[in-house]
Amino acid sequence: MPKQENYDVLVIGSGGAGLSLALKLASQRKVAVIAKFALTEGSTFYAQGGISAVLDSQASSIDSHIQDTLNSGAGLCDAEVVRLTVEYGKKSIDFLRQQGMAFTERQSKAGEAELHLNQEGGHSERRIVHNADATGKALSQSLINKAQQHPNITLLEHHNAVDLIIADGRVLGAYVLDTQNKVVKTIAAPTVALATGGANKVYLYTTNPQISTGDGIALAWRAGCKVANMEFMQFHPTCLYHPDGSSFLISEAVRGEGAKLILPDGTEFMQQYDQRAELAPRDIVARAIDHEIKKHGIDCVFLDISHKSPEFIKQHFPSIYKKCLEFNIDITQEPIPVVPAAHYTCGGVMTDSYARTDISGLYALGEVACTGLHGANRMASNSLLECLVFAERASEHILSSELLNTVVELPAWDESQVKESTEEVMIAHNWDELRRFMWDYVGIVRTTERLQRASHRLALLQKEIADYYQSYHINSDLLELRNLVIVADLIIKSALARKESRGLHYTLDYPELDNSQRKNTVLAPSNN
């Protein structure tokens, strides 16, 4: 059994939120960051669009960003959290520049270099700071480079959190599976931060990487934290429709630069659904595409930016251009086949404005958290901003708190009653079944009957997976499946509780907005 490891802070997740927090704490705390796979295998690395941020001090610009966010959130945003987040925008961009991150620039009218700003769906003006169309990659690499150089940061790749260790309402650390050496470590830390990203792998089609299995939400739920607004799962309108590129996202910024959504015969259709057309919020655009696909019995729609010059397209969207070319799609000459796909988890572990959860010493930040910023629908490029802002807020609170002694002897992981599995096929089969019925019954458009059918199927899976977990040695696939069934249950329960259509939750049984239900859907574990 490996010797217990002791740190001041354990950060679970190596994306923009987790690494930012680690770097902000490392001058005064000994920090361990665990990554389920490689450090780059998170949603941050694959983010294309950018970071929404007001870089000037004009009140009108701040107010405009706030209002756009509130509008996108369909009445469920926390106005104070929205203002706080927007006001931290410039500080967040300054932090990234200090870490060595570069941003795309252009020449101003005065001949000076200035940041180039994109515009995306839901935004009334250009405010998206970016690095071409690979902002997340640039952000991740700059933070990883800094973290690798810091003597107080230990980076543990291929480590998967099994469960948090809780006593008397306080977190003490976590059990962590070292997947390469196949041993469970005990990591003690009086402060633990969940920064594991979202849960969109619960759906059959997603733009997210393999890592997005709702681990942090499930860890927090089992530990006793409240979870909110899990019915609001965002489907990105434009994912590449191709059997070999099914998880490749076509950035919102493509529509921001004038791309049109068209049917196979070239007919535009978005104006029928919203006066903002292609620049409407994501929930509207995704439902419109879903409706057109079903109405016409087609496999996909198309996104066309070929009316722009080849030079413009290659300059603004080099990654998308190259990726599509791999599939023999020349976006300078022809439209891109696209479909909606699960993209972002707007709900999550409930936190306050310092990223604190219900459990003392436990923080949650980034997509794993429900801060009140996104409400019923996240506005484009507010996600990376949220990661950075709440890393700053969490660091402020952690550094202002008394540093507790980390040398607490915790019980070692006990696997004396389990054996090696000879039935790995069960994991693969249940994983596939779960994602398929979630896509069919709990997707973009829902009904009470579909949700109840999903709930019934899920109950059978939950028992199978719980029995399997108790009987056999764990591996990463089993841990992810165990977490996914919890997340699926939370989504279904939340969706059944909301008897209206709001934001990302659309049900044919209650198609209208009902302002008597203008409140968060909060679920609490029975042990709370």
Known catalytic residues are: 282
DSSP H or E stretch at residue 191: strand 191-194
User: What is residue 410's DSSP assignment?
Assistant: P
Q: What are the backbone angles phi and psi of residue 459, rounded to the nearest 5°? A: -60, -40
Task: Report d(CA 243, CA 256) in Å as an integer.
Answer: 26
Nearest to 316 by CA among 259, 257, 365, 258: 257
CB 342 within 8 A of CB 209: no
Task: Report d(CA 197, CA 205) in Å as an integer.
Answer: 17
CB 231 within 8 A of CB 438: no
Task: Report d(CA 13, CA 34) in Å as an integer.
Answer: 6
CB 361 within 8 A of CB 384: no
What lies within 8 Å, CB to CB, of 439 at 6+ separation is: 203, 204, 205
Give residue 96's Cα distance to chain centre.
Answer: 20
CB 76 within 8 A of CB 279: no
CB 415 within 8 A of CB 9: no
Task: Report d(CA 165, CA 150) in Å as an integer.
Answer: 27
DSSP 292-320: HHHHHT-S-EEEE-TTS-HHHHHHH-HHH
Task: Report d(CA 324, CA 330) in Å as an integer.
Answer: 7
Task: Report d(CA 215, CA 163) in Å as an integer.
Answer: 10
In Å, how far are 62, 132, 226 from 54, measured between CA atoms?
6, 18, 32
DSSP H or E stretch at residue 24: helix 16-25
Residue found under tokens 């669009």: 49
User: What is residue 516's DSSP assignment?
Assistant: G
Q: Bridge-partner residues for 173, per DSSP?
A: 165, 188
Residue found under tokens 């998170």: 42
Task: Report d(CA 148, CA 64) in Å as an integer.
Answer: 38
Q: Bridge-partner residues for 275, per DSSP?
A: none
Output the CA torsion sign for 492, 498, 500, 501: negative
Angle of the 79-87 helix axis to the 59-72 helix axis, nearest 10? 130
Q: Bridge-partner residues for 163, per DSSP?
A: 175
Q: Look up residue 415 and give its two tokens.
A: 């696997």
